[in-house]
Amino acid sequence: MTMRELAHMVAMMPPNFPGAACIREPQAFDPRGRGEGHGRRVCPRHVYAKDLCALCPHLSPCREWALHYHADYPKESGPVIGGLTDQERIDTRRRLRITVKVAA
Ligand code: SF4
């Protein structure tokens, strides 16, 4: 593995945010399961996760990381990260013209 590949892998890993709610209650943030809806509809569990993110002291750097490094796919369910659902991250990237940095 080259240094460039190693640096890229580190950047791809979620940052460690001590004391964050997503560490205490990870199940609230998990991708939607069967019957929890899809697309732009936000399920009650993710509404709760978004509320926890809104109170998180790490919200800003977490959201920045999620927008730049967490790949979301339109037809798959993703987790809540940085106060945003998968679809909200996709919409935000499109609006701000952000490209996710993924390994080549
Ligand atoms: S903003 Fe949300 S996802 Fe990010 S560290 Fe805080 S609780 Fe976790």
**Residue 10 pLDDT:** 56
The identity of residue 4, as a single letter, is: R
Give the residue with greater pLDDT, 17 vs 92: 92
Binding site membership of 22 for ligand 1 (Cβ less than 6 Å) = yes
In a domain, 34, yes or no: yes
Binding site membership of 78 for ligand 1 (Cβ less than 6 Å) = no
Number of domains in the chain: 1
Q: Give pLDDT tens digits for 27-65.
A: 999 999 988 987 788 899 999 999 999 999 999 999 999
Look at residue 83 and tell me whether its pLDDT is greater than 90. yes
Cα distance between residue 12 and residue 104, in whole Å: 12
User: CA 51, 56, 61: angle at the middle one, nearest 5?
Assistant: 120
Which parts of 1-104 fold into alpha helices (H)?
A: 3-12, 21-24, 44-54, 59-69, 86-96
Exposed / middle / buried, residue 81 (Cβ in 10 Å: 0-12, 13-18, 19+): buried
In a domain, 8, yes or no: yes
Question: What percent of the chain is predicted at pLDDT more than 70?
Answer: 85
Expressed as residue numbers, the domain containing 33 is 3-96
Question: What percent of the chain is predicted at pLDDT more than 90?
Answer: 61
Binding site membership of 28 for ligand 1 (Cβ less than 6 Å) = no
Look at residue 88 and tell me whether its pLDDT is greater than 70. yes
In a domain, 12, yes or no: yes
Joined together, the tokens standing for residue 79 give 């987790």
Binding site membership of 52 for ligand 1 (Cβ less than 6 Å) = yes
In a domain, 51, yes or no: yes
| Ligand 1 atom index nearest CA of 29 | 3
pTM metric for this prediction:
0.85
Number of H helices, E strands in the chain: 5, 0
- C-alpha of residue 47 to centroid of ligand 1, in Å: 13
In a domain, 101, yes or no: no
Binding site membership of 50 for ligand 1 (Cβ less than 6 Å) = no
